[in-house]
Structure 1
Amino acid sequence: MSESRPSRPSSRLISWGLHAYWRFSRGMTLGVRGVVLDQDNRVFLIRHTYVPGWHLPGGGVETGETALEALERELHEEACIAMDEPPALAGVFFNRKISRRDHVLVYVIRRFTVLEVKRPDREIAEAGFFPLDRLPDGTTVATRNRLAEILQGQKPSQNW
């Protein structure tokens, strides 16, 4: 499932450019992430083509869109997953690594439908369910921290 990935400097440049745009076009940026857990206690993760690491699916909330609408859209686009019931809000996190204006809402989704197997595309290099005790190498610290907070009772952080 691997595709070629941009070099780290180019992915940083892309990220910087997008956030520079958002900084001037929006007062604050807001993102959503979904912790999608199946009945076998596996979590759905994605690996982007433009930034390193394995992440929870999600993305930015667009102007005029609610957080839940954004989560629904991002899960469909990045994971080919539809929520069967409203998700539970697990926390709100300040993402100072992205900007001084960025916050991320994390939701837990336990009832869902897999619409189809997610195939690689221009944005998603790989995607799939992983056992919680065998997360793929490169799973981000933020992803591991959110899972520990939600599933192991680790004290929640205020920061992403």
Structure 2
Amino acid sequence: MTTGSRDAFRQTGWAGLRARLFHVYFVLRRPMTLGVRGLVQDKASNSVFLIRHTYVPGWQLPGGGVEVGETLAEALTRELAEEGNIALNAPPVLRSMHFNRRSSRRDHVGLYLIEHFSQTAPKLPDHEIAEAGFFPLDRLPEDTTPATLRRIAEIFGGEPASPYW
């Protein structure tokens, strides 16, 4: 193993371990988990908004867990504001529900399409978000997660929605 590949493994290994610890924490805290993700589309530039977390590898759709007492729409609104400085200008459209068996045996994710929004300012890096931005559909980042690519193909490519995240 070369020094470069060893460093890449350490980086990915620690990120993976960190992600698993977060999932274990949430499973213990909330045995049944429900999450939301938002596919924010800028029609004018034919682009979508993606984020890269500090604790897991890859670019993905913004979103997160639904807190106790929140609706799916309230959780989505909160997550978009926190992760992208994005505010909804019209109700989002629930496009699909998915079983996220890679996270746990009881995790489900609602995917919303957001076409009417505003962004007060570009999202700057913080403790949770390493990078964020809009990317043209034909030039997505190389390390966009497989689940994100599947959701984009389902919405924009006419692929049938998978029951799995």
TM-score band by shorter chain is over 0.9
Look up the match of 1:14.
18
- Aligned equivalent of 1:45: 50
Partner of 1:26 in structure 2?
A: 30
Aligned counterparts of 1:118 and 1:18: Cα–Cα separation in 2: 23
Q: Given the alignment, which residue of 99, 102, 114 partners 2:119?
A: 114
Amino acid at match of 2:85: C
* Higher deviation after alignment, 89-98 or 18-27: 18-27
Q: In the aligned structure 1, how far is the partner of 2:46 from the partner of 2:116?
A: 12
Q: CA deviation at 1:49?
A: 1.0
Which amino acid in 1 is paired with 2:146? V
Identity among equivalent pairs (%): 57
Asked which structure has the greater CA Rg, the reply is 2
Measured against aligned partners, the alpha-carbon deviations of 1:35-70 in whole angstroms (never above 9, x if no partner) come to: 000122100000111110000000111111111111
Q: C-alpha offsets along residues 138-159 of structure 1, whole Å, 9 cap, x if unaligned?
A: 0011101101101111011000
Equivalent position to 2:60, from 44, 48, 55: 55
Please list every run of 5 or more consecutive structure 1 residues that lacks an aligned counterpart in the other structure.
none
TM normalised by structure 1 equals: 0.93
More helix by share: 2
Note if contact 2:18-2:56 (Cα within 8 Å) is conserved in structure 1: no
Distance 1:19 1:140 in 2: 18
Deviation at 1:105, TM superposition (A): 0.4
Query: In the TM superposition, what is the alpha-carbon distance from 1:24 to its structure 2 partner?
Result: 2.3
- Aligned residue type for 1:52: P
Q: Distance in 2 between matches of 1:23 and 1:147?
A: 28
**Deviation above 3 Å: which 4+ runs of structure 1?**
none
Partner secondary structure for residue 138 of structure 1:
coil
The corresponding residue for 1:150 is 155
Q: Which has the higher contact order (CA 8 A, sep 6+)?
A: 1
Number of aligned residues: 156
Deviation at 1:26, TM superposition (A): 1.8
Residues 85-134 of structure 1 show CA distances to partners (whole Å, capped at 9, x for unaligned) of: 11001100011111101111000000001111111111111111000011
